[in-house]
Structure formats: C-alpha cells, structure tokens
Amino acid sequence: MDASEQVLKQLRWIKWLTAVLALSFAAIAASLVWMTHEMTSSFARTDDSSLFSDQASALLNEGKENEVLTLAKERESKFPKDPNVYWYRGKAYYQLGQFKEALEAIRRVHEIAPTWRQEHTGPYIKAIEEKLATKS
C-alpha cells in the first residue's frame, strides 16, 4: 500500500469518526432540549397547583365552600390525580357539614397521596368519622 492509499484510508476513518461525533452531539442536544421541556412543563404544573391551592384556601377562609367545589371540579377535569382537588373538596364538604362527601373526598386523597396519610388525611378521616358517629 502506497502513501496515497494510506492517506485516503485515514481520511475515510476521519470522515466516519466525524459523522459519529456529529450524531452523538445531535443526540445530546435533543436530550437536553427534551429535558428542558420536561422541566419547564413540570414547573408550570407545580405553579398551577400552587395557584389552585392558594385560591381554594382563600375561598375556604372566606366561607365560599360552593365556589371551592366548583373550582375543584374544574381542576379535576384537567388533573384527575391531583390530590389537592380532593383535599380542598373534602375540606369544603366538611365546612358545609356534608361529612359523608367529605370522607369520600379525603379517602381519595388517602389513595392518591400515601405520603399525606400520617400528617393530613389520617387525622382528617378520624375527625370526619367522629362527626359521622355523633351525627348518627
């Protein structure tokens, strides 16, 4: 093999190596774009959830339970697995004295968000069951 053939062989290797590197960089760039999109979508959902919680909490403090129920229904249509939907629905029903409905909603939170059980849903379920027991 003469020198010109060796140079051509090396140039072909360089060409393939360049193509592999270009594809690798393209894959990395696509991954970064996808991750950025996922992160911003996640932040948007979190902000939206916080906004819902703030609105529902303020309405409950003002004694506007029926508005909370309407707000929760709207949110549920978009985010059926959002525990905040059922949490605020349960609190609204509780404040309205509709303890069976409150218990149903809080039990749904209990299923969706097991980490809420000890601090939030467990004590609330107990309080609702006590109210139901005294009501009967």
- Determine contact, residues 68/59, Cβ cutoff 8 Å: yes
What tokens were used for 105? 């909603």
Tens of pLDDT along 18-67? 999 989 988 888 888 888 777 665 444 555 778 999 999 999 999 999 99
For residues 82-96, give the mean pLDDT. 95
pTM: 0.64
CB 112 within 8 A of CB 88: no
The C-alpha atoms of residue 110 and residue 55 are separated, in whole angstroms, by 22
Cβ(68)–Cβ(77) below 8 Å? no
Domains in the chain with CATH codes: 3-135 (1.25.40.10)
Length of the chain measured in residues = 136
Going by C-alpha positions, the residue among 133, 91, 87, 132 that lies closest to residue 108 is 87
